[in-house]
Amino acid sequence: DADVTQTPRNRITKTGKRIMLECSQTKGHDRMYWYRQDPGLGLRLIYYSFDVKDINKGEISDGYSVSRQAQAKFSLSLESAIPNQTALYFCATSETRSTGTEQYFGPGTRLTVT
């Protein structure tokens, strides 16, 4: 079984709808991240969480919110989806070390907003 799972894997939604993307991990890591990937732009950090009570904005958090329901679960919500939020979304996890630690990625959720 995969260590980092994301649901759904694909989603098509309409402008203005609320949508939630979910991430679960079995790696036992405290740190979790949400990124979006757009062609030619690489990965950009949306939100990150160091533990259940510590949630922080990344470089592109506008229009998104998150919830860390447990150590193993980190959800990303789009309160009112818009077409430019069409992208590939990745969840990642890492160990609690100060730095130099790699991140482990889920398989991604492809979101299309029409």
**Can you give the binding site for another protein, defined by CB under 8 A?**
4, 31, 40-45, 48, 58, 90, 92, 94, 98-108
Q: Which of 108, 101, 86 is nearest to 30 (CA)?
A: 101
The CB-of-1 to another protein minimum distance in angstroms stands at 14
The CB-of-18 to another protein minimum distance in angstroms stands at 25
The CB-of-80 to another protein minimum distance in angstroms stands at 27
Closest CB to another protein among residues 14, 51: 51
E runs forming strands in 1-114: 4-7, 10-13, 19-25, 31-38, 42-51, 54-57, 64-70, 73-78, 87-94, 104-105, 109-113
Instruction: Give residue 1's identity as a one-letter amino acid code.
Output: D
Q: Give the C-alpha separation, 6 to 109, whole Å.
A: 7
Closest CB to another protein among residues 79, 106: 106
φ, ψ for residue 72 (rounded to 5)? -95, -5
The CB-of-6 to another protein minimum distance in angstroms stands at 8
Closest CB to another protein among residues 94, 112: 94
Closest CB to another protein among residues 73, 110: 110
